[in-house]
Amino acid sequence: MISRNSQNTELNEDCRLLASLLEVETRQYRRLLRLAWRQNSYMKRQDVDRLDFNAREWSKYLPKADEARIARERFIQQLASDKNMPGASLVMDEILSATCKATQSEVRRAINDLRAVSVRLERQNELNRQLAEFCLDLAREEAEIFRNTVLSDPSGCYGNNAQNASRGPGGVLVRQA
């Protein structure tokens, strides 16, 4: 029979491993958060080359963040299975209550860090989505204005020979080289 002290030692080790998995996941999400901040900046500056590079970085690091999340989820599921418990949150509460205070603090800090960075990442992604939507709406409106101007040619910007006239759309003077 396994002694209670050896069970507590095993639980402490499991919790330290969990804290480590949470920290790895948090680091991956922090990296994604930095990429999300950059994406926002690049969209505002309309820096297509950097946006393209940033998108490649996302495709490189998002799978690593997913791997970290999946590893943590599988570990918790394994703990739940080992303890014959149905829910991961119940497992964590029970396991943490059986560990020393230092281990409890380590795991709770890691959980709080992960939650905080996840909330910030979710918020920044939503801001980026809204900005991208605004940029697309603006581009559609500008394209529609240009299309209407070119098709209807109200300002006479094209002459009979299909060459630019001396005035651009809306009567703006156009310089020709």
Contact call for residues 164 and 150 (beta carbons, < 8 A): no
Tens-digit pLDDT profile for residues 13-46: 888 999 999 999 999 999 999 999 999 999 999 8
User: CA-based Rg of the chain, rounded to a whole angstrom?
Assistant: 28
- Collect all residues with Cβ–Cβ distance below 8 Å to 30 and sequence separation of at least 6: 117
Q: Say which amino acid occupies 7.
A: Q
Residue 45 main-chain phi, psi, to 5 deg:
-90, -5
CA distances from 41 to 57, 75, 104, 126, 156 (A): 15, 37, 39, 14, 39
DSSP 2: -
Tens-digit pLDDT profile for residues 130-164: 999 998 888 888 888 877 777 775 555 555 555 55
